[in-house]
Amino acid sequence: MITPDRTRSLPLQALAWALPLVRERGATLAAVVILSCLGSAAALLPPYLTQRLVDDGIVGGKVELVLQLCAVFLVLMVGGVLIETLSRLSYLKLSAHLLFGLREQVWRHLQTLAPTYYARTRGGEILSRLDGDVAEVQRFALDAPMAVLNGVFSLAVALVLMLSLSPLLTALVFALVPLQVAALILSRPWLERSTHAMRKESAAMSSFFVESLRAMKFIQASNAARRQEAGLRAHHGDYFAALRRSQLASLGAGGLQRVLSGLGVLLVFAVGGALAAAGDLSVGVVVAFIAYTTRAAGPLQTLAGVFMGWQRAKVSLERIRELAAERPTVQSPAQPVPLAHPVRGELRLDAVRFGYGTEAVLEGATLDIPSGTKLALVGASGAGKSTLIDLLQRHYDPQAGRLLLDGVRLDLVDLAELRRQLVVVDQEPVLMPGSIRDNLRFVAPDADETALMRALDLAGLGKLAHAGGLDRPVGAMAATLSRGERLRLALARAILQDPAVLILDETTSGLDLPVAQAIIGAVDRVFAGRTRILITHNLASVGAVDRIVELRDGRLVEPDPVRSAAPLLRVV
Q: Are 376 and 505 in contact (CB under 8 A)?
A: no
Mapped onto helix, strand or coil, the DSSP state of residue 552 is strand
**Angle at Cα 300 formed by Cα 196 and Cα 11, nearest 5°?**
40
Helix (H) or strand (E) holding 181: helix 177-214
Q: DSSP letter string over 64-117? A: HHHHHHHHHHHHHHHHHHHHHHHHHHHHHHHHHHHHHHHHHHHHHHHTTS-HHH
**Residue 348: what pLDDT?**
96
pLDDT above 50 for 88: yes
Per-residue H/E/C for 489-512: HHHHHHHHHCCCEEEEECCCCCCC
Say if residue 239's pLDDT is above 80. yes
User: What does each C-alpha distance from 242 to 236, 247, 250, 533 come to in angstroms?
Assistant: 10, 9, 12, 52
At residue 12 the predicted structure's pLDDT band, cuts being 50, 70 and 90, is: low
* Between 355 and 564, residue with greater pLDDT: 355
pLDDT of residue 102: 85
**Burial of 221 by CB count in 10 Å (0-12 exposed, 13-18 middle, 19+ buried)?**
exposed
pTM above 0.85, yes or no: no
pLDDT of residue 297: 62
Alpha-carbon gap, residue 487 to 492, rounded angstroms: 9
Residue 225 has pLDDT above 50, yes or no: yes
What pLDDT is recorded for position 568? 39
Backbone angles phi, psi at 394, to 5 degrees: 60, 45
Task: Decide if pLDDT at 431 tops 90.
Answer: no
Packing angle, helices 10-24 and 283-324, rounded to 10: 100
pLDDT band at 567 (very low <50, low <70, confident <90, very high): very low
Q: What 3-state DSSP class applies to 452?
A: helix
What number is the average pLDDT over the span 127-134? 81
Same fold, 10-324 and 347-569: no
Give rounded-to-5 percent helix, strand, coil for the chain: 65, 10, 25
**Range of lowest pLDDT (298-307, 428-437, 455-464):** 298-307
Strands 400-405 and 408-409: antiparallel
* In the chain, where the domains are located: 10-324, 347-569
What is 347-569's CATH superfamily? P-loop containing nucleotide triphosphate hydrolases (3.40.50.300)
pLDDT at 304: 64
Q: What is the pLDDT of residues 356-415, one digit of tens each?
A: 877 889 999 999 999 999 999 998 888 889 899 999 999 999 999 999 999 999 999 999
Distances (CA, A) of 232 to 5, 125, 131, 205, 337: 38, 16, 21, 8, 52
pLDDT at 301: 62
Would you say residue 566 has pLDDT above 70? no
Q: Which residues fall within 8 angstroms of residue 256, CB to CB, at 6 or more apart?
A: 183, 187
pLDDT higher at 288 or 304 = 288
Distance (Å, rounded) from C-alpha 343 to C-alpha 351? Answer: 23
Sign of CA dihedral 341, 344, 347, 348: negative
**Cα(522)–Cα(540) distance, integer angstroms:** 16
The count of C-alpha atoms lying within 13 angstroms of the C-alpha of 143, restricted to the half-sphere facing its C-beta, is 20
- Per-residue b/e over 433-445, b at no fewer than 16 CB within 10 Å? eebbbebbbebbe
pLDDT digits (tens, 9 = 90+) for 307-327: 666 666 777 778 888 888 888
**Fold classified for 10-324:** ABC transporter transmembrane region fold (1.20.1560)
Higher confidence at residue 142 or residue 3? Answer: 142
SS (H, E, C) 216-263: HHHHHHCCCHHHHHHHHHHHHHHHHHHHHHHHHHHHHHHHHHHHHHHH
- Of 421, 259, 276, nearest to 343 by C-alpha is 421
Report the alpha-carbon distance of residue 367 to residue 549 in Å, rounded. Answer: 9
Ramachandran angles phi, psi of 127, nearest 5°: -60, -40
User: Are residues 211 and 122 in contact, defined by beta-carbon separation less than 8 angstroms?
Assistant: yes
Selection from 209-213, 230-234, 278-282 with the highest mean pLDDT: 230-234
- Over range 286-290, report the average pLDDT: 78
Q: What is the pLDDT of residues 508-559, one digit of tens each?
A: 887 788 888 888 888 999 999 999 999 988 888 888 899 999 999 899 998 7
pLDDT band for 262, please (50, 70, 90 cuts): confident
* Residue 5, pLDDT above cutoff 60: no
- Residue 562: band (very low, low, confident or very high) from pLDDT cuts 50, 70, 90: very low
Mean per-residue pLDDT, 265-285? 79
Q: What is the mean pLDDT of residues 85-101?
A: 84
What lies within 8 Å, CB to CB, of 500 at 6+ separation is: 342, 343, 344, 345, 371, 405, 421, 422, 530, 531
Residue 493's pLDDT is 92
Please state, in angstroms and rounded to a whole number, the distance separating the CA atoms of residues 332 and 415. Answer: 5
Mean pLDDT of the chain: 81
The pLDDT-based confidence of 10 (bands split at 50, 70, 90) is: low
425: helix, strand or coil: strand
- Quote the percentage of the chain above a pLDDT of 90: 21
pLDDT at 564 over 50: no
Measure the CA–CA gap between 400 and 390, rounded to whole angstroms. 15
Q: What are phi and psi of 546, to 5 degrees?
A: -80, -25
User: Is the predicted pLDDT of residue 330 greater than 80, yes or no?
Assistant: yes
Cα 104 from Cα 381, distance rounded (Å): 38
* C-alpha distance from residue 99 to each of 22, 93, 96 (Å): 10, 10, 5
Over residues 424-449, the mean pLDDT reads 88
Residues 522, 525, 531, 533, Cα dihedral to 10°: 30
Q: What's the pLDDT tens digit per position in 452-487? A: 999 998 888 877 766 667 888 886 666 678 888 888
Position 569 scores a pLDDT of 35
Alpha-carbon dihedral 211, 216, 222, 224, rounded to 10 degrees? 70
pLDDT of residue 120: 84
Burial of 166: CB neighbours in 10 Å, binned 0-12, 13-18, 19+: buried
